[in-house]
Chains A and B, each alone.
Chain A
Amino acid sequence: MRREIRITGFGGQGVILSGVIVGKAASIYDNKNATMSQAYGPEARGSACSTQILVDDKEILYPYIRKSDVLVAMSQEGFSKFVGELKADGVLIYDEDMVNPGEVKKGIKVYPIKAQRMAETDLGRKIVTNIVMLGFFTAVTQAVPKEAMVEAIKTSVPKGTIDLNLKAFDLGYDAFE
């Protein structure tokens, strides 16, 4: 089954790295096919930043999102830009402190989290907000197995920060009960 995932936020939040981790987890550690691409150009200038990850058991033929299954939003601007592409029964994950979703269409499953605040207060490092988000995303969607995500994090983050990032991941993962 093909799943289309969009992660969005602003520059410096590690949006692209998040996309790489999800794509790598699915394709290298879960043996699926997964492509990741990021928005380039005028679209990527300024504050908005986004990445799309496509996961499929079969070869990925169409390289872009058409209707996303999952939107992970870490900024208001990104949310506004991409909420429209969510499927009628899609999953919306967002950081409550950063995004006010207002009225969301019925049918969309909504999962708020205070990822940035958790990263700051529990780990003292705002920089791992994106990984907290990924933990939460993994628990909510089960789009990629937890073990695969852990492996992908280990091989994608800077060497000295693996433990911190894994803690962040668990923090997010456990936030979903």
Chain B
Amino acid sequence: MKADPIGVRTGTLYLDGDRATAEGAIAAGCRFFAGYPITPSTECAELISERFPEVGGIFIQMEDEIASITAIIGAAWGGARTMTVTSGPGISLMMENIGLAIMLETPCVVANVQRGGPSTGLPTMVGQADVMQARWGSHGDYEIIAYSPQSPQEAFDFTIKAFNMAERYRTPVIVLLDECVGHMVEKVVIPPADTIEIEPRRLTDAAKDEYLPFAYGDDLVPDMAIAGMGYRFHVTGLTHDERGYPEMSVRCQEWLVPRLVAKIRQNADDIIEFDEENTDDADVVVVSYGISARVSRMAIDLAREKGIKVGFLRLRAIWPFPEKRVAELAKKIKSYVVVEINLGQIYYEVQRCAAGRCETLLSPHAGGGVHDPEDIFKVIEKGAKVK
């Protein structure tokens, strides 16, 4: 299915990452948005509130982030494509109901414009320390899909992807921006609507009395009914059977939860996205994402000038993590250097996948700014000296 032209502002715009996220959402057919203002994500909500009346969308500023995430889940069951956007304290408040979206297999998109934490932290300054929270923040076992744009253009592109993946796998998808990308204004090219591919909702066509809300096929994703279609279905956040009825037993838990995880893991190759540069002869491979990926490239240029063989693995999707590729490369390099604005998150993931086959070094940053390329360079230098 192609994007509805009414929502697509085709042309070359000069936009910040927050607003590009909003444009991506509207282009992807988002027509319900609930949110609560929080820096540095608010520009996204503001643009949606301005644009929605003209495209038939409903914008509502809720009383808090818990209400916001829950409202978008409800709206998804009413048939809408939905999004909320937040940051820091707000994403923490949303965690319980991100779990609800996982459990009800509800397509929806959550954008988190990361700022410095913990707590109120650095409201107006950059951080990348919510990466593990995105993966593990809600209780229980699950898998998540998360994208990390490095520019406003990617904020637009990845938000559309996020909506598409949310529909394809019936799951919440996180767009994990950072304040720097969120607030940076740059050229954004919005293509014509008929070149934007939109994933339709997987609506069931089962007979009314035969529909089982959680019966699934080979790709492990059940077909969805939405309210008002006449199926009179039930869904619950409790562990449930094919009919959607609660069944609190080991047997049912084993039937349900491994599938929720597997529907992402089994299809990981369809979701995982990364850019790989100069890894063929590399001694050191830098791993980074978001704004840090851009800064890393400066350090890589520096290192190459000095004759160090450095490759680059830039994560476009952070979750699911490209485990296989990271493990493969580990066999032939001396070290990984992970560059992120936190004190070690994806670092541990890389270390886990490298599994001792090479060194894994971290170029950390506590937040509030981006790395000094010199600092990254020094870690690369160290990585190149590993025996």
Residues of A within 8 A of B (CB): 19-20, 23-24, 27-28, 33-38, 40-44, 59-64
A20 vs B295: C-alpha distance when bound (angstroms)? 23
Contact bitstring B273-313, A, C-beta under 8 A = 1, else 0: 00000000000000000010011011000000000000000
The complex places the Cα of A38 from the Cα of B125 at a distance, in Å, of 11
Interface contact A28-B12, CB-CB below 8 Å: yes
Please judge, given known A-B contacts A41-B125, A43-B124, whether A61 and B186 are in contact too, CB under 8 Å: no
- Give Cα A41 to B125, complex, Å: 8
Please indicate which of the listed interface residues A34, A35, A40 has the most CB atoms of chain B within 10 Å of its own CB: A35
Taking CB atoms and an 8 Å cut-off, the chain B residues in 110-138 that contact chain A are: 123-125
Q: Which residues of A contact B186 (CB under 8 A)?
A: 23, 27, 33-36, 60
Contacts A20-B14, A40-B124; is A62 near B373 (CB within 8 Å)?
yes
User: Do A40 and B12 touch across chains, with their CB atoms under 8 A apart?
Assistant: no
Taking the nearest CB of chain B, how far is it from the CB of A114, in angstroms?
30
Say yes or no: B124 contacts A35, CB within 8 Å: no
Check if B227 is an interface residue, CB within 8 A of chain A. no
> Could you list 21 examples of A-B contacts with CB < 8 Å?
A19-B185, A20-B14, A23-B14, A27-B14, A27-B187, A33-B186, A34-B187, A35-B185, A35-B186, A37-B180, A40-B39, A43-B124, A44-B124, A61-B294, A61-B298, A61-B373, A62-B294, A62-B295, A62-B373, A63-B180, A63-B294
Residues of A near B298 (CB, < 8 A) are: 61-62
Q: A20-B14, A43-B124 are in contact. Are A37 and B185 (CB under 8 A)?
A: yes
Q: Closest CB-CB distance, B184 to chain A, in whole Å?
A: 5
Interface bin, chain B? 20 to 34
Shortest A177–chain B CB gap in Å is 31
Cα-based distance from A72 to B369 in the complex (angstroms):
24
How far is A44 from B186 in the complex, measured between Cα atoms in Å? Answer: 21
Contact A62 B14 (CB under 8 A): no
Q: Given the known inter-chain contacts A61-B294, A63-B295, please indicate yes or no for A37 contacting B124, CB distance below 8 A.
A: no
B297 to chain A: closest residue by CB: A61
Q: List the B side residues contacting A33 at CB < 8 Å.
A: 186-187
Would A62 and B370 be within 8 Å (CB), given that A28-B12, A41-B123 are in contact? yes
The secondary-structure label for the interface of chain B is mixed
Which residues of B sit under 8 angstroms from A41, Cβ to Cβ? 39, 123-125
Q: How far is the CB of B298 from chain A (nearest CB, A)?
A: 5
Segment 83-128 of B: residues with Cβ below 8 Å from A = 123-125
| Residues on B with beta carbons closer than 8 Å to the beta carbon of A43 | 124
Q: How far is the CB of A15 from chain B (nearest CB, A)?
A: 14
- Check if B40 is an interface residue, CB within 8 A of chain A: yes
Residues of A close to B16: CB separation below 8 A:
37
Question: Chain A contacts of B369 at CB under 8 A?
Answer: 64
Question: When the two chains form their complex, are residues A36 and B124 in contact, meaning their CB atoms are under 8 A apart?
Answer: no
Residues of A within 8 A of B180 (CB): 37, 63
CB pair B370–A60 under 8 Å, yes or no, is no
- Cα-based distance from A61 to B295 in the complex (angstroms): 5
8 Å CB contact of A63 from B124, B125, B187, B370: B370
Q: List chain B residues, Cβ under 8 A from A34.
A: 186-187
Q: For B179, give the chain A residue with the smallest CB separation.
A: A40
Interchain nearest-CB distance for A101 vs B (Å): 28
Report yes or no: A28 in contact with B14, Cβ–Cβ below 8 A.
Answer: yes
Task: Write out the residue numbers on chain B whose beta carbons fall within 8 Å of the beta carbon of A28.
Answer: 12, 14, 187
Residues on B with beta carbons closer than 8 Å to the beta carbon of A38: 183
Q: How far is the CB of B31 from chain A (nearest CB, A)?
A: 28
Closest Cβ of chain B to A130, distance in Å, is 17
Knowing A28-B14, A62-B370, A62-B373, say if A36 contacts B185 (CB, 8 Å).
Answer: yes
B185 & A63 in contact (Cβ 8 Å cutoff): no
Of residues 1 through 22 on chain B, the ones whose CB sits less than 8 Å from some CB of chain A are 12, 14, 16
| Contact indicator A40/B40 (Cβ below 8 Å) | yes
Q: A41-B124, A60-B294 are in contact. Are A23 and B185 (CB under 8 A)?
A: yes
Closest chain A residue to B370, Cβ basis: A63
